[in-house]
Amino acid sequence: MRSTALCRIGGFASLALIVGAWLWSANGPAPAGLAWIDSSFGLGGQMVDQPAAKNPPTDAKPVPQSPSDARREQFRRQLEFTQRRQQMLERIWKESGRHEPSTTERNHSSIKHAFRETVAATRPATVRVFSEGKQVALGAVVRADGLIATKGSEARGKVECELADGRRLAAQQVAADEANDLVLLRVAATQLPTVTLATADTLGVGCWLATCGTGVDPVAVGVVSVAAREIRPPRGILGVLLGEGGGVARIDEVMPGSAAAEAGLLPGDRILELNNKAVKGREQMVNMLKQKQAGDKVRLKLARDKEQLDLGITLGSEEMSGMRADRFQMMNMLGGPLSARRAGFSSAIQHDTILSPRDCGGPVCDLDGRVVALNIARAGRVDSYAIPASVVERLVKAQPAPTPVTAKPQPVTHKEPAQQ
């Protein structure tokens, strides 16, 4: 026991040394004694003193650089440094994930076991949501006729829901609340167990919450950090430099690591349409993108040479694209993967439950076992968001009840008894 504790202390001390050295590097080069961090983690940037460049010949003339070239070079250097820091953080996260949580941590199995009775009634109505064969979210059965609520931005493409009894059924979207990233799906099933939404506002800061999954124990537990409020959205970023070309928006440059780069956009592509709306120049394209937020999925029609392409793209944000790399965002990512859409909700409860993005969309219970919210996003190292049950209930009540199927009465034919 003592050796295990010492190993954990040593691991966390190493982690603190690495992160502290990185934070120090933002204000200047690290001491020579920390040079090993650069070679071990490929941090680059200002971590290690660089040898001074040799003085150029006195007769050399400086090459003039346009403002746009200077801006691109500055962005390239910043992005390269950001990507190296991101790689370091990912490696730290993977290493920390190998250590078993202690018995005093909330994600330890013994702690979650204490909340088993809390989620017992809700578990049969919790489903797993799949997109193109991959689990992307959890969901909650909100009506016995097959109506399921979940996270909308993940339920795209071919969607299936796996019920508590093991059946995996095709699902169709029937309603959406874009302001809160909620959707209602329908599966071909009846007489399903349902969650009971507790719409009364009884949650206060410090109240315990248990995230229900498909297992007997909750996925995770946490406490309310901030009462329900609006979470403003970050602007969606495509990640290109645009120019004018023949009355359309022409892509002059694609930023490495951006949403555009991941989708395969190339310099020289001309954007003809955004979400089936014609794009007539650079300014119009910029204005149309200003209305989108990070995590939104858009469709672009492009002209590439003599070919036309139709591509689906998930917009990034400044943080996700590496276009702004401040200390807070880098430290935020130490908590693990974050949801693609993690802001832009009209009403959301903030809590400190440590979730995986694929565990969002499912029910959240209070200590009395009442479903008080649906998880909607993993937003940061200590921040998760949940949509209050009252918001979910309004979306459900707006859907018409299924028309009961009644058998038509059959005409009665009177037969005379046979003659003997």
Tokens of 49: 């003193």
Q: How confident is the model at residue 102 (pLDDT cuts 50, 70, 90)?
A: low
Distance CA 168, CA 356 (A): 22
Residue 126 bridge partners (DSSP)? 140
How far from 59 is each of 53, 56, 223, CA to CA, in Å?
A: 17, 8, 67
Distance CA 134, CA 132 (A): 6
DSSP three-state, residue 325:
coil
Q: Over the stretch 304-343, which tens digit does the pLDDT of each residue have?
A: 988 999 999 988 876 555 444 445 555 665 667 889 888 8
Mean pLDDT of the chain: 78
Q: Over the stretch 77-90, which tens digit does the pLDDT of each residue have?
A: 766 766 666 666 66
- The residue type at 97: G
Mean pLDDT, residues 124-151: 97
Strands (E) in 203-339, as ranges, are 208-211, 220-231, 240-245, 248-254, 270-274, 277-278, 297-304, 307-314
DSSP 191: S
Q: Which residue has the higher pLDDT, 100 or 173?
A: 173
Q: Over the stretch 32-49, which tens digit does the pLDDT of each residue have?
A: 333 333 333 333 333 334
Residue 223 bridge partners (DSSP)? 208
Residue 235 bridge partners (DSSP)? 293
Q: Over the stretch 147-204, which tens digit does the pLDDT of each residue have?
A: 999 999 999 889 999 999 999 999 999 999 999 999 999 999 999 999 999 987 778 8
Q: Is this model's pTM higher than 0.85 or not?
A: no
Q: Over the stretch 142-159, which tens digit does the pLDDT of each residue have?
A: 999 999 999 999 998 899
Residue that has been written with the tokens 């090459």 in this structure: 63
Domains of the chain with CATH codes:
2-49+67-96 (no CATH), 109-232+334-397 (2.40.10.120), 240-314 (2.30.42.10)
Q: Over the stretch 220-271, which tens digit does the pLDDT of each residue have?
A: 999 999 999 999 887 888 989 898 766 789 999 998 878 898 899 999 999 9
Residues 6+ apart with CB under 8 A from 362: 126, 137, 138, 139, 140, 150, 211, 212, 213, 219, 374, 375
Q: Which class for 243: exposed (0-12), middle (13-18), buried (19 or more C-beta within 10 A)?
A: middle
Do 222 and 351 contact (CB within 8 A), yes or no?
A: yes
Q: Which helix (H) or strand (E) holds 121?
A: none
Tokens of 44: 């680059």
**What's the pLDDT at 378?**
94
Contacts made by residues 162-171, CB under 8 angstroms, sequence distance 24+: 162/127, 162/128, 162/130, 162/214, 163/127, 163/187, 163/189, 163/192, 164/123, 164/124, 164/125, 164/126, 164/127, 164/193, 164/214, 168/130, 171/129
Do 374 and 361 contact (CB within 8 A), yes or no?
A: yes
Asked if the model's pLDDT at residue 296 lies above 60, the reply is yes
Residues 6+ apart with CB under 8 A from 367: 118, 207, 208, 210
Do 170 and 188 contact (CB within 8 A), yes or no?
A: yes
